Amino acid sequence: MTQPIIVEKTAKTVKEALNAALLELQLEEKDVEVQVLEEPNKGFLGFIGVKPARIRVTVKPDPLRDAVRFLSDVFLTMDVKAEIIPVWKDQILHITFKGDDLGILIGRRGDTLDALQYLTNLAVNRLSLSRLRIVLDVENYRQRREETLIRLAKRLGDKAKRSGTRVVLEPMNPQERRIIHTALQGDSKLSTFSEGEDPFRKVIIVPKQEIRRPREDRPHGFASEHNISGPRGRTRRYQDRNGLPKSIEKDNSGYDR
């Protein structure tokens, strides 16, 4: 499954055999390693003991070449005209697309770009032993999106602090959730966590005050019981019930028994 691609060719000369192999593989000479298995022999007078050249051509692993080829094939079938610009950075292959009207490659919230990135990673890593990470981008879409998410995180963080209640964000993929968590990590007045199952998992921003407030508001035994399970969900529910003293009394009496 993970073996390199090997082709054996026989022809009159080594050169001819190599050309045939390269044609079959659709590659250039620099992409392969050639091993001569049998030197050709012109024979005596050109007919006695004639032996053809036999070579073994091994395709050198080259993720960049594979990725670019895969992507240009995909664009060809999708009828998308885009320039493919690969750059190595921190052992990660970053590939940017340039062209007009590449919205089709981004999709809703980057859906299409993420799908293409996932498939490119699979296709390129299928034959290689080491796992290489490939990140695709359309003219800084990811960077712009990251900036947007950081702004969103700060704004909603402020809102959570002002109102003292948690803010639930819309569902995001792991990368986008990470951006939100990281953006608010340094804020000592906020904490963040994620809830739900992918693809509906969402980030929740909680003001740290919210965690303490119910403890002060509630009757003693009541608060300590529920604080064991942490501030999530429950806290909010009991706060809401503050407006309905009956239900709190009911809960409380049940608990005292």
Binding-site ranges for another protein (CB under 8 A): 1, 70, 73-74, 77-79, 104-105, 107, 111-112, 114-116, 118-119, 122-123, 126
100 CB-near residues (< 8 Å, 6+ apart)? 81
Token readout for 127 is: 């034959």
Query: Could you tell me the smallest distance in angstroms from the CB atom of residue 34 to another protein?
Result: 24
Minimum distance of another protein from residue 95's CB (angstroms): 15
* List of long-range contacts for 190-197, beta carbons under 8 Å, 24+ apart: 190/157, 190/160, 190/161, 193/232, 195/232, 196/171
Q: How far is the CB of 87 from another protein (least distance, A)?
A: 22
Question: Which is closer to another protein, CB of 79 or CB of 216?
Answer: 79
8 A C-beta contact, residue 92 and residue 135: yes
170: helix, coil or strand? Answer: coil
* Residue 144 C-beta: closest distance to another protein, Å: 19
**Is-contact 67 35, C-beta < 8 A?**
no
- Strand-pair category, 53-59 with 83-89: unpaired
In angstroms, the Cα distances linking 253 to 144, 236, 244, 246 are: 54, 20, 15, 11
Q: What are phi and psi of 189, to 5 degrees?
A: -95, 0
Residue type, 110: G
For the CB of residue 112, give the shortest distance to another protein in the complex, in Å: 4
